[in-house]
């Protein structure tokens, strides 16, 4: 029997920061692979670490039942970067070699890598080493190149928006300025969407360098115009002076110092990544998972599944690896928010 007609054996791993929807994606790949194609599915523990140590187990349909709504990842995750040498030796490729060896020993026909930008970069490097790889993009940051949307993002927007909504009433009662720091690494998507959904008066994102004087004057003017409170939504990745560790804390201190207006900060943190995925993320993750299984069945490797212009499609890993999808200065949402009087600090 030719290799193509023998049901395939696939490995799945989840790497990088977790997010809501990963289990839905594991279920999507796993169930489609098993039910539609009769494949064997091997779950690899803790991202690329599990391939280095060969820590894995067969994922059966029973492992995949009841996980659609679960937050986190049943496989565990890590930020292991196998191509980043941790030894002083030049050209130390011990980890990639172990990964290749274990991929062969496990008899895998393909490795599914569920992760963000870092994971896609590693996945691409493994595909250059000769492994069959398919990527599934996930992250609350929504910054993976090649896809309009990653799962995890919608859930995080919901969580961050609820937090901003809740700040409005307490800000109003106390006539305070509330600064809320939102995750997103170097991208401003999460701050932009939740800031817009939550009616932030100021939205600061790393892609649009801000001027502190503009923010201070804007907030003073609002107070003078009898607006009793203001909400400042800042992405964690905006530029702040060296030595400062949190955008939210720094800004709140500075605003109170300069404007004299009572100010408080909220650093929202990991709640943005935790818990059950939103219905939209469950659907997107399931569709991504099924699409990944279909690519594998067609021997269409070296790609990530993507959501582009409302359709599920795929993009070459070579196009995606090493890039970050950032908010453009002239993004229609930025333009629209500006036209409604929202300040981006410029």
Query: C-beta of 14: minimal distance to ligand F6P in Å?
Result: 13
Q: With contacts defined by CB under 6 A, how many residues of the chain interact with ligand F6P?
A: 11
Q: Is-catalytic flag, 18? A: no
Query: C-beta of 321: minimal distance to ligand F6P in Å?
Result: 17
CB 118 within 8 A of CB 81: yes
Complex with ligand F6P: residue 17 or 188, whichever CB lies closer: 17
Among 8, 13, 15, 17, which residue sits at the site for ligand F6P (rule: CB under 6 A)?
17
Q: Is the dihedral of CA 44, 45, 48, 50 positive or negative?
A: negative
Site for ligand F6P in 104-133 (CB under 6 A): 116
Q: Give the Cα separation of 106 and 54 in Å (integer).
A: 9
Question: Among 23, 24, 9, which Cα is nearest to 105's?
Answer: 9
Tell me which of 109, 141, 143, 154 is the catalytic residue: 141
Q: Give the Cα separation of 63 and 43 in Å (integer).
A: 10
Site string for ligand F6P, 126-165 (x = CB under 6 A): -------------xxx------------------------
Task: Please tell me whether residue 273 binds ligand F6P under the rule CB under 6 A.
Answer: yes
Residue environment code for 240-268, b if the CB has 16+ CB neighbours within 10 A, otherwise e: beeeeebbbbbbbebbbebbebebbbbbb
Vertex 12, ends 9 and 17: CA angle to 5°? Answer: 175
Complex with ligand F6P: residue 116 or 345, whichever CB lies closer: 116
DSSP, res 11: E
Site string for ligand F6P, 167-196 (x = CB under 6 A): ----------------xxx-----------
Complex with ligand F6P: residue 137 or 345, whichever CB lies closer: 137
Q: Give the Cα separation of 340 and 139 in Å (integer).
A: 29
Site for ligand F6P in 24-63 (CB under 6 A): none
Please count the other Cβ atoms lying within 10 Å of the Cβ belonging to residue 291: 23
Q: Give the Cα separation of 160 and 326 in Å (integer).
A: 19
Query: C-beta of 28: minimal distance to ligand F6P in Å?
Result: 21
Complex with ligand F6P: residue 80 or 141, whichever CB lies closer: 141
- Residues at the contact surface with ligand F6P, assessed by CB under 6 A: 17, 79, 116, 139-141, 183-185, 236, 273
Active site residues: 141
């Amino acid at each position: 029997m030719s290799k193509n007609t023998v049901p395939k054996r696939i490995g799945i791993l989840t790497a990088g920061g977790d997010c809501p929807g990963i289990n839905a994606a594991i279920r999507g790949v796993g169930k489609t692979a098993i039910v539609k194609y009769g494949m064997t599915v091997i779950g690899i523990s803790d991202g690329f670490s599990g391939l280095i140590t060969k820590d894995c187990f067969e994922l059966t349909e029973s492992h995949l039942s009841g996980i659609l709504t679960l937050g986190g990842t049943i496989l565990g995750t890590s930020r292991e970067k196998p191509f980043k040498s941790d030894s002083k030796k030049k050209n130390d490729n011990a980890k990639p070699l172990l990964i290749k060896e274990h991929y062969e020993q496990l008899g895998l026909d393909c490795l599914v890598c569920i992760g963000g930008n870092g994971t896609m970069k590693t996945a691409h490097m493994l595909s250059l080493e000769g492994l069959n790889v398919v990527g599934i993009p996930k992250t609350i940051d929504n910054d993976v190149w090649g896809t309009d949307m990653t799962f995890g993002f919608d859930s995080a927007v919901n969580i961050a928006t609820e937090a901003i909504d809740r700040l409005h009433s307490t800000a109003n009662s106390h006539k305070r300025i509330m600064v809320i720091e939102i995750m997103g690494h170097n991208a401003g998507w999460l701050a932009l969407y939740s800031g817009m959904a939550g009616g932030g008066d100021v939205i600061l994102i790393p892609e649009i360098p801000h001027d502190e004087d503009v923010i201070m004057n804007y907030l003073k003017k609002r107070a003078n115009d009898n607006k009793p409170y203001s909400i400042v939504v800042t992405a964690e990745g905006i530029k702040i002076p060296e030595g400062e560790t949190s955008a939210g804390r720094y800004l709140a201190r500075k605003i109170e110092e300069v404007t004299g207006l009572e100010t408080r900060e909220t650093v929202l943190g990991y709640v943005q990544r935790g818990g059950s995925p939103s219905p939209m993320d469950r659907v997107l993750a399931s569709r991504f998972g099924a699409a990944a299984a279909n690519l594998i069945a067609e021997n269409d490797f070296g790609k990530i599944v993507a959501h582009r212009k409302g359709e599920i499609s795929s993009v070459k890993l070579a196009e995606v690896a090493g890039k970050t999808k950032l908010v453009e200065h002239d993004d229609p949402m930025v333009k629209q928010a500006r036209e409604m009087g929202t300040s981006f600090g410029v």
